[in-house]
Structures are given as structure tokens and as C-alpha cells.
Amino acid sequence: MKTYIAVLKKDIDIENLEKELKKKNIKPAAHYTSIGVVKLESEKPVYLKDFEEYFISVEEDKNIKIE
Amino acid sequence: MEKERYIVVLEDQQKKSLRKVENELEVTITSSEFLSSENRSYEVIDNDNGVLYKNLGVLVVENMDEEQLKSAVKNDSNPIVYFEKEREFFSADELSIINELKKQSAEITDKISELEKYITNKPLPQKSLIEMEWGLKALNIENSLYTGKGIDICILDTGIELSHPDFSGREIEGKSFISGESWDRDPNGHGTHCAGIAAGNIRLDNGKRYGIAKDANLKIAKVLSDSGKGTTSSVIDAIDWAITKKFRVLSLSLASAVKLNDTPSPLFETVGARALENNCIIIAAAGNDSSRPSVPKPVSSPANTSSIMAVGAIDGHMKIAKFSNAGLNPATGGSVNICAPGVDIISTYPKNSKNKSSNYYAMSGTSMATPHVSGMMALYMEQFPEKTAKEIWELAEAKAKPIEGLKYRDIGSGLIQA
């Protein structure tokens, strides 16, 4: 299972998005309302082209470290 | 030689008196009756001749000995009762100009006197009684009257060692985004060090000041594990928490290296912009991947986005730190915005295997430069409560001091200043 983070477009229908995610076996792990971002978990890669109606961008969770 | 004429007033014009005056002043007196268009007064009056205006009882003479005239006035037996030098007269306009000039000159003289008095009496600059770490001196922190009071600064890092004596008495709010690890313990030490720079105060052992915004409300988000590693998602988790809590400054001494010409993450670009919309500024380390004098590496993520302020590091000799990344991708937003001290920075640190006896430790990195900027933001926000986060960012860059010999790609607008 990999984690993806997507930036949501404004004024989207969240319920419809949840249905679309369910169809593709993608689990919504968190919805950050203050910044309009969702965290997703999926066995298969999540592509922007499949969610262009809802997402500005989607990227896989990356490692980060102290500087 | 310039002619000087005198107006001499006579007591009477009897022949005897006029003769006495002629003898004393060694002049021949011509009566004004004999003046005409062919014989004008200025043609008559010279060293040897004067003109008497009979109707006025006034004699006009030239180049007289003033002492002689004075003694004649004093002498009661002399018919001369008064004298004065001939005056020049101007038209009303010319006079008003002269009067105006005199007035202005008097005002300027007053202002010069006032300025002179101020400079003479100005108190000598107060030398700070508290010794400071080099980084704080470089920021001219002693010039600031502000302490960050009332401003919420959130440190997104490895947590904080809350038992540290410099923090134990403070009210600090925190949350961990790392499973199984608490935000109020920091075996790593990195987060405690960064928190001290941004919002610490003075060392308990020697009284030296190392922290910038001592009265800021310190908030801790543990987004990096005790080993100093984390993921984008925990950082996003923490940013959402911080913005929901309306914190004003988020300090991210963390990074993920990028390659030359990599485009910035749309995720962080959007998050930075939405933070600014919520009156919150995100400040991030430019990264430590460089090894100068070799060609430096580009600014890391998330600092490489245009909506997050990227901080480079300098050393105590005002040189760019050898590890500090550079703005090599400016077209895509990957530039350094500002720089701050980041070499041999002493701050709070937990006692651990690296630091066995002291509560303080010296560290280097753009991680150390970043909380210098975050602390300064709190001072600005306290000073200018009406300014938005975006305006505070602009203010910081406008006040930053360029450093001679250092490039824009390395230090952006320059060294942040109080």
C-alpha cells in the first residue's frame, strides 16, 4: 500500500470524488480542509489523468529529512 | 574708491555758523538754491564741496572724518547737531524680498542651532548589557524592542525536549505526527535546537542570549522521527493542524533534495499559497547538499516553491556556508529568498550521547538559519500587527542586507535584519 497526496480543485463534489475513489479501490485516508488536500492510500498508482475533474496534482508520498 | 556721503543736520544757517562748519570740515558749502538741471547735486558734492538744503537745514558732504563729526555733535558751540551716513533705499518689492530672505535665513539658523543642540546632547548608544551569540549580533537584534509576544511560531521538526530547563517553565503546545513517538521528547535534539533559536532566550549557565523571540507562543509539531526522517504526508498533516490553529509562522528545518531543472511540487506550491491566504507564512531550509567551492546544488523541496520562503546559510565571516544550496532553478521558483546565520550556532540541546554535560550545543545547517528567520518574522508580526503574512514576507526581504561579494542565487535579498 502506497500513500499519495492530491491537491483538490475548488468547489468540487466530495461525495462524487469518494465514489470515484471507491471504484478504483483507492482509500481516502485524510481530508485536510484548511489547505484543500487529500491523502490517499492505494495498492495501484494514482494518476492525475483519472481525476482531472477533482485534482490539481497528485504525487506519491516522499521521504524528507532534517537539514 | 567708494563714496561715503553724510547727512549733517545744522542747528542754524547763519553765515557765522556756516563758515565755522566750512572751516571745520574743510568744505565749501553751496546752497541748494544754485542747483539746476545743469548743476545737479551729485556733480557738486565731492571731497571739497557740500550742498546745503536750506529748507531742510541739512548739509550733504562727502568722505568726512566720522570722529570729527561725532566730536562736533558733542560740542554745544558747534552748529552740527546730528549726522548719519547716507542710506540706500529700495523699492517695496525689493525690500520685501530682502525681508523674506532675512526671515528664512533666521529660520535656518534656528534649525541649525536646534540640530546642533540635539547632536550635542544626544545620549550615547546604549551598549546591550546582555552578551549575544554571533548570529543574533549579525541580525542586529539589539536594535529591536520586540520579543514576538502573542505570535504563534510552530516548529515542524523532531519534537522538543520539554524537560530542558529553558523550556520547562513555558506553556508549549504540541502534537506528534509520528506514530509511537511523543512531541515533548527529543532524543535527536534537532527540533530542540531549532526551537531554541526561534523562541529561546538566554543561557542559564552564562547568560548569553541565543534565542530571538522569547515571548512568542511556541508550538511543536513532531513530523520527523527520532532518527530525523519523515515523509511529505506527515508534514502536510502538521501544516493542516497549524493552519487550523491559526499559527502565524511555520518553521521547516527539513528538506528533500531535488535535481537541477526539477519543477517544484505543485502540492507544496499550493499549500504555501493557501497558508499565505490564511495569514500564515511557511519558512523552509534551502538544503545542505552542496559542497562548495564545487558548483552548488539546487534549493531543495519544499523551499523551492515560490510560496514558501527559502533560507540560505552564512557563516560568522559573512561567507556563504559551504553546504548551503543555491537558486539554480529560478525560472521555476527554486530560488533562495533570504539568508541567516547557519554555521556554529549554539542553542538548546538535550543531554545525550553527543552532548553529555551541557544543555547547549553548536550545530550547523540551513536548518539553523531557518529558525533565525522564523523568530524574526514573529518580531515583525508583533511590530506590525496590521500587516498580512505576505506583507511581512515583503518587509523581511526589503529590510534584508546584501552582503558584499555574495551572489543573489546564494543569499537572495540578503541577510535578514531587525
Q: Catalytic residue among B152, B164, B166, B190, which?
A: B190
Domains of chain A: 2-60 (3.30.70.80)
Give yes or no for a cis peptide into B296 (omega within 30° of 0).
no
Residue in B243, B187, B188 with CA at minimum distance from that of residue B219: B243
Query: Mean per-residue pLDDT for B122-141?
Result: 82
Q: Are B267 and A7 an interchain contact pair (Cβ–Cβ within 8 Å)?
A: yes
Question: CB-based contact (8 Å) between A64 and chain B?
Answer: yes
B129 vs chain A: nearest CA distance in angstroms?
33
Q: Give me B372's grid cell.
A: 533565525
Nearest-angstrom CA–CA distance, B377 and B283: 10
The residue ranges of every structural domain in chain B are 5-85, 136-411
**Residues B82-92: tens digit of each pLDDT:** 999 888 776 66
Q: Topology of domain B136-411, per CATH?
A: Rossmann fold (3.40.50)
Selected for mutation to probe chain A from B186, B232, B354 (highest A CB count within 10 Å) is B232
Known catalytic membership, residue B190: yes
Would residue B76 show up in a list of annotated catalytic residues for this protein? no
Instruction: Report chain A's terminal Cα–Cα distance, integer Å.
Output: 28
| C-alpha separations of B296 from B4, B307, B323 in Å | 84, 22, 8
| Residues with Cβ within 8 Å of residue B324, at least 6 apart in sequence | B286, B287, B288, B290, B292, B296, B312, B313, B314, B336, B339, B342, B366, B369, B410
Nearest CA-CA distance, residue B123 and chain A, Å? 44
CB–CB contact A34 B228 (8 Å): no
A30 vs B279: CA distance, rounded Å: 23
Res. B251 pLDDT band, cuts 50 70 90: very high
**A67–B270 CB contact, under 8 Å:** no
ipTM of the complex: 0.95
Q: What is the pLDDT of residues B33-87, one digit of tens each?
A: 888 888 888 888 988 999 999 888 899 999 888 898 999 899 888 899 999 988 8
- Which residue in chain A is spatially nearest to B229 when comparing CA positions? A65
pLDDT at position B41: 84
Nearest CB among A34, A59, A64 relative to B267 is that of A59
Does A9 contact chain B (CB < 8 Å)? Answer: no
Cis amide bond preceding B330, omega within 30: no
**Beta carbons within 8 Å of B233's beta carbon, 6+ residues apart:** A3, A5, A39, A61
- At which residue does the C-alpha cell 549575544 appear? B132
**pLDDT (0 to 100) of residue B126:** 58
Q: Which of B251, B367, B374, B413 is catalytic?
A: B367
Q: How far apart are CA B104 and CA B117, in angstroms?
A: 20
The half-sphere exposure of A3 on its side-chain side, counting CA atoms within 13 A, is: 14
pLDDT, tens digit, 9 for 90 and up, residues B11-38:
898 989 999 999 989 999 999 888 888 8
pLDDT the model gives residue B132: 96
Comparing CB atoms, the residue among A36, A62, A66 nearest residue B274 is: A36
Residue A35, chain B, CB below 8 Å: the answer is yes
Whether B101 shows a pLDDT value over 90: the answer reads no
Q: Helix or strand or coil: residue B280?
A: coil
pTM of the model: 0.74
B259 neighbourhood in chain A, CB within 8 Å: none
If you average pLDDT over every residue of chain B, what do you get? 92
Q: Do B232 and A35 touch (CB under 8 A)?
A: no
Please judge whether A37 and B267 are an interchain contact, meaning their C-beta atoms are less than 8 angstroms apart. Answer: yes
Q: Please compute Rg for chain A using Cα positions.
A: 12
Catalytic annotation on B372? no
Question: Residue B82: which of B94, B74, B91, B73 has the closest Cα?
Answer: B73
Rounded to whole angstroms, the Cα distance separating B297 from B167 reads 36
The catalytic position among B157, B166, B186, B226 is: B157
